[in-house]
Structure 1
Amino acid sequence: MAAADSHLDAPPLRPPLANTSAPRDREPPHADLDKLRRWQEERIARRLRGEYESAVLHLAEVVNDNMSTPLRLASIRVEGAARTRQSFLSALVTPFLPPPATPSFSASSDHSSSLGDVLHKARHIGSLLQETDIFQSVEARLEGSRDFLARPGDVDLVLRTRERGRFYLNTSTQVGNNEGGASATCRVRNAFGGAELLQANLAFATTTRVAFSASLSAPLLPYLPYAPSASPNPNLNTRGEISIFGHERDNTTFASSFEGVRGLRAAVRTGTLRNGTHEFAYEGVLRHIGNLAPTASISIREAAGPSIKSALSHTYMRDTRDDALLGTQGSYVKLSHELAGLGGDTSFFKTEGATQLARRLLPGVTVSVAARSGLLWGLDGRPVPFSDRFQLGGPMSVRMFRANGLGPQDGPDSLGGDMYWAAGLSVIGDIPRRPHWPVKLQGFVNLGRLDSMDKSRSLIDNVRESISKPSVGAGVGLVYKLDAVRVEVNFGVPLVASKSDGVRKGIQVGIGLDFL
């Protein structure tokens, strides 16, 4: 009895009970089950987030404290790349591995490698794999080396990847360069396992009645010889491309004819658009001018028939604008040179340049200054074919003039020219009290001229005369950025025009990508 009396039980708890929840928890009443459940989920999420952030900070401290720890990258493995050639992956990752052991190479000579170096290499390799446009995701981890000859501090870098879909098919309607149409595009990514891109396109439009193209491009730099002593810096900025193309274009609005083009092209591109790209290309093209309108001029009738061009070209382009269509800061430069005469029935040298500079003057107000110029010089004494001559004028170049309406004319037809220049000043601003609208106000002044070269005079005299007699147009309008194109509705007048120029007074609409 004494032992039983010594065992005491706590009395049972009976309501009403005091509320012990902390006021800062803001616990909802038990009657509202939905609010109670959401409160509990948010509370758990906050706790997990706090634990995750603490773990990340702790891991960052551990890594930062051990960045100088000696570590050597022994091998690199890429997992999940079933449709990518191992030779291509090896060309990308091999430059990041240390050179193979030789009698003059010992373990003591690789002590400079550390955890920091390995992590930087892992980040660089992951970025390089993403740059191929083959992989949807790339995850990296470090493991102890599996090699039975591994030394202390040797690790393997394992990259777990997930490849993108290979096939892409798209049909769309599109508007650009003052014409509208429909197109179908088929694309095969990583076609042969080495980041190749195989693409075919078929389009129908109002001016270009039908156009087709097929191209195959691939990175070239991974296949170039690699020197193990060089610093690992492979990149995919050098690509080669082979293409075939053709189109049927309706030129009746300015040249009373149709033009058919069939050709092939091979090009090598290198660099990035922001730092500058170079393209070296060869092009062989068969052109045919036919289906003349009854009102076609004698000059167009003489230009009718086939012509063959075989040419080498070089193009440099650099674009630092924040927006290619409505830039508020940055600059754009493009220079191109073409030498024809390596076969075919035409021989000439053509050079062309374009530049644009955009700056923000005031909040919501941007000024844009642009200029273009080109020179065409025949090399065999014969007239340069109509298809290779410059055309100028229209809502995308010298506004308030007809499309391709500047320069030499023969009746209703524009014959093109050997030399041109054009410049423009545009001020673009927000609509008052509606700065968030995608429609902007524009005021512009454009001037330019297109001429045929007078071979009896010097080049300087030809240029001086062309600059002294510009055609000028000015006006105001609205600008709207519609997805990938720019739309302008302008009202203006030509201020100065030559007798042969085709002018356009009143309202003019422009739709395209590259405006002066």
Structure 2
Amino acid sequence: MGTVHARSLDPLPMQGPDLGVQPDDIEAPGVEPEPKQEVLQNKDVVVQTVHVDGLGRTKEDLLTYEIRDVFKARNLIEVMKKSHEARQKLLRLGIFRKVTVVIDTSRGEGALPNGLEVTFQVTELRRLTGSYNTTVGNNEGSMVLGLKMPNVLGRAERLGFQFSYGTKETSYGVSFFKPQPGNFERSVTLNAFKVMGQFPWSSLRESDRGVSAELTFPVWRTSQSLKYEAVWRELSCLAGTASFAVREESGHSLKSSLSHAMVVDSRTSSILPRSGGLLRIHQELAGYTGGDASFLKENFEIQLNKGLLWGSVLSASLWGGLLLPIGDSHTSIADRFYLGGPTSVRGFSMYSMGPQSEGDYLGGEAYWAGGLHLFTPLPFTRRRGGFMDLFRTHLFLNAGNLCNLNYGEGPASHLQRLAECVRWSYGLGLVLRLGNIARLELNYCIPMGVQSGDRICDGVQFGAGIRFL
């Protein structure tokens, strides 16, 4: 099973986007290049054979989906482009360490004068790989150890074990990932996990043990996911000084929920985008599939980015959420929303806004938060690119509110509660982009609209995370 052979004598025309060609990865020793691209585009060719050399445990039918478009090329330029696209698809499977492409003239019996053969030379990943890295969450850092068995069943499946030790959470779990052959965006993921977290703003310790199954699939320009999760939760007090309200929440509970998420993302980057927008909607329904937690939870995120003069970017964000208990149940402190901190409403301490009891913050059943930013390159820098391009200065204005609702009063009273006692802040700061995975902020904040019980951070505030208001 070391070679895959495919043959086609009647290729169909296909027009696609120009993804570019990597000369180091595509070789054409048997084809004499023409001096002009227009001549190559008008020279008809037929891709007669495609080989994949270097296979070990990979099933042949998986690769047929990824390389079939190569047969649709009608000239040499298209052959090179579609071969490059097929190479990118093979690398995206996560089962090959290296993929190179060789384009040559057809040889042997049945070879046509204008026939070509394309060979993909692949190097498979080892059966067991390990990793060690650090990750950044919302004002949290973690050390992550992982073991993976890529291509465990021969069709790009992945079995993994991960242990994470962080400043607020420690977790470990086993996962199994299975993509659909020919449609890598459509996949199934199974998880079994345990998460132990400490939340000092609520004097709360939480330990979760659970399983989940998630189906991910694209619909038009959106990414959709459906998920079932069953979690056994144990809540306890983090300190002997915890408030009575937190002690009341302590104990065991079982949450069994179905959730749906939709994401539309046209941003040029998830960290400091120059243009584009984001829409993320998430719904969770608990109680109808068992467990003692019964609620409907809705939240959304909207972000718009517009490029201005001299490399400046104007960015606007809006978050919101609503938690509705079902029946006679009451909402748990583990399910409510929290707001405030360097990644949301700046100038306030981490999750230290809204309902609280004896200094312990209990979260809210409804919230909204909005942010307006003006990002600019560093002043007095003549050159663009390089290390200094990772930095931005920004002016910001944040606002938001978090509260509990009386569900017997109706929607109008809910909106009135959210519009009362709005917290807001403004300031300026320096932003550092860490690749395309996280960013750091050092801001000078001036909190306004402070309410009784809120904990503020007036002056310099540092933030690190992957999701910012």
CA distance in 1 between partners of 2:82 and 2:458 (Å): 62
Number of the residue aligned with 1:316: 262
- 2:185 aligned counterpart, secondary structure: coil
Report the AA paired with residue 402 of structure 1: S
| CA contact 2:87–2:99 (8 Å) conserved in 1 | no
| CA contact 1:320–1:332 (8 Å) conserved in 2 | yes
Q: Give the Å deviation of 1:478.
A: 1.8
Structure holding more strand per residue: 2
Q: Provide closer, same or farther for how the CA distance between residues 323 and 124 of structure 1 changes in structure 2, counting only shifts above 3 A.
A: closer
The answer on 1:139 being equivalent to 2:101 is yes
Report the AA paired with residue 373 of structure 2: S
Map 1:391-410 to 2 at 5 A: 391-410=338-357
Report the AA paired with residue 428 of structure 2: V
Report the AA paired with residue 356 of structure 1: Q
CA distance in 2 between partners of 1:310 and 1:366 (Å): 42
Number of the residue aligned with 1:78: 52
Number of the residue aligned with 1:185: 146
Alpha-carbon RMSD across the aligned residues, in angstroms, is: 3.1
Report the AA paired with residue 455 of structure 1: Y
Q: Give the Å deviation of 1:87.
A: 3.7
| CA contact 2:403–2:417 (8 Å) conserved in 1 | no
Q: Give the Å deviation of 1:318.
A: 2.3
Q: Give the Å deviation of 1:155.
A: 6.8
| CA contact 1:72–1:153 (8 Å) conserved in 2 | no
| CA contact 2:54–2:124 (8 Å) conserved in 1 | no
Q: Give the Å deviation of 1:429.
A: 1.9
Number of the residue aligned with 1:56: 33
The answer on 1:439 being equivalent to 2:391 is yes
Structure holding more helix per residue: 1
TM-score (ref. length: structure 1): 0.75
CA distance in 2 between partners of 1:284 and 1:57 (Å): 62
- 1:323 aligned counterpart, secondary structure: coil
CA distance in 1 between partners of 2:336 and 2:276 (Å): 31
Map 1:449-464 to 2 at 5 A: 449-464=401-416
Report the AA paired with residue 251 of structure 2: G
The answer on 1:333 being equivalent to 2:286 is no
> 1:407-449, CA deviations, whole angstroms, 9 ceiling, x for partnerless residues?
1111111111111000011122233213653433222111001
Q: Which of 270, 282, 298 is matched with 2:228 structurally? A: 282
Report the AA paired with residue 449 of structure 1: N
Q: Provide closer, same or farther for how the CA distance between residues 302 and 454 of structure 1 changes in structure 2, counting only shifts above 3 A.
A: same
Report the AA paired with residue 333 of structure 2: F
Number of the residue aligned with 1:466: 418
CA distance in 2 between partners of 1:511 and 1:244 (Å): 28
Q: Provide closer, same or farther for how the CA distance between residues 368 and 123 of structure 1 changes in structure 2, counting only shifts above 3 A.
A: closer
CA distance in 2 between partners of 1:407 and 1:94 (Å): 57
Report the AA paired with residue 80 of structure 1: G
> 1:160-211, CA deviations, whole angstroms, 9 ceiling, x for partnerless residues?
3212423432223444321233221222322221111222221212211x21
Number of the residue aligned with 2:24: none
| CA contact 1:369–1:426 (8 Å) conserved in 2 | yes
The answer to which of 86-95 and 469-478 deviates more is 86-95
CA distance in 2 between partners of 1:416 and 1:387 (Å): 9
CA distance in 2 between partners of 1:444 and 1:282 (Å): 38
Number of the residue aligned with 1:48: none
Matched length: 429
> 1:330-362, CA deviations, whole angstroms, 9 ceiling, x for partnerless residues?
212211111111111111111110011122222
Q: Give the Å deviation of 1:95.
A: 9.1
Q: Provide closer, same or farther for how the CA distance between residues 153 and 306 of structure 1 changes in structure 2, counting only shifts above 3 A.
A: farther
- 2:152 aligned counterpart, secondary structure: coil
Q: Provide closer, same or farther for how the CA distance between residues 163 and 460 of structure 1 changes in structure 2, counting only shifts above 3 A.
A: farther
Q: Provide closer, same or farther for how the CA distance between residues 287 and 78 of structure 1 changes in structure 2, counting only shifts above 3 A.
A: same
Map 1:286-297 to 2 at 5 A: 286-297=232-243
Q: Provide closer, same or farther for how the CA distance between residues 479 and 160 of structure 1 changes in structure 2, counting only shifts above 3 A.
A: closer
| CA contact 2:359–2:453 (8 Å) conserved in 1 | no
Percent identity between the two aligned chains: 28
Q: Which of 106, 109, 119 is matched with 1:159 structurally? A: 119
Number of the residue aligned with 2:7: none
The answer on 1:201 being equivalent to 2:162 is yes
Map 1:223-238 to 2 at 5 A: 234-238=182-186
TM-score (ref. length: structure 2): 0.82
Report the AA paired with residue 183 of structure 2: N
The answer on 1:365 being equivalent to 2:312 is yes
Report the AA paired with residue 215 of structure 1: S
| CA contact 2:159–2:174 (8 Å) conserved in 1 | yes
Give unpaired runs (5+ residues) of structure 1: 1-51, 98-112, 223-233
- 2:201 aligned counterpart, secondary structure: coil
The answer to which of 113-122 and 310-319 deviates more is 113-122
Report the AA paired with residue 469 of structure 1: C
> Highest relative contact order (Cα 8 Å, sep 6+), 1 or 2?
2
Number of the residue aligned with 2:20: none
| CA contact 2:90–2:99 (8 Å) conserved in 1 | no
Q: Give the Å deviation of 1:265.
A: 1.2
CA distance in 1 between partners of 2:249 and 2:167 (Å): 23
- 2:234 aligned counterpart, secondary structure: strand
| CA contact 1:126–1:140 (8 Å) conserved in 2 | no
Q: Provide closer, same or farther for how the CA distance between residues 502 and 116 of structure 1 changes in structure 2, counting only shifts above 3 A.
A: same
Number of the residue aligned with 1:45: none
Q: Give the Å deviation of 1:400.
A: 0.8
CA distance in 1 between partners of 2:240 and 2:47 (Å): 79
Give unpaired runs (5+ residues) of structure 2: 1-28
The answer to which of 290-299 and 418-427 deviates more is 290-299
Q: Provide closer, same or farther for how the CA distance between residues 309 and 435 of structure 1 changes in structure 2, counting only shifts above 3 A.
A: farther
CA distance in 1 between partners of 2:280 and 2:466 (Å): 15
Number of the residue aligned with 1:171: 132
> 1:450-509, CA deviations, whole angstroms, 9 ceiling, x for partnerless residues?
111211210232023312431111122222223432111212222112223222212211
| CA contact 1:77–1:156 (8 Å) conserved in 2 | no
CA distance in 1 between partners of 2:445 and 2:66 (Å): 56
> 1:112-138, CA deviations, whole angstroms, 9 ceiling, x for partnerless residues?
x88459948766654543432333214
- 2:195 aligned counterpart, secondary structure: strand
CA distance in 2 between partners of 1:261 and 1:289 (Å): 9
CA distance in 2 between partners of 1:194 and 1:329 (Å): 37
Larger Rg over CA atoms = 1
- 1:466 aligned counterpart, secondary structure: helix
CA distance in 2 between partners of 1:428 and 1:155 (Å): 54
Q: Provide closer, same or farther for how the CA distance between residues 80 and 508 of structure 1 changes in structure 2, counting only shifts above 3 A.
A: same
Report the AA paired with residue 464 of structure 1: Q
- 2:184 aligned counterpart, secondary structure: coil
Q: Provide closer, same or farther for how the CA distance between residues 486 and 502 of structure 1 changes in structure 2, counting only shifts above 3 A.
A: same
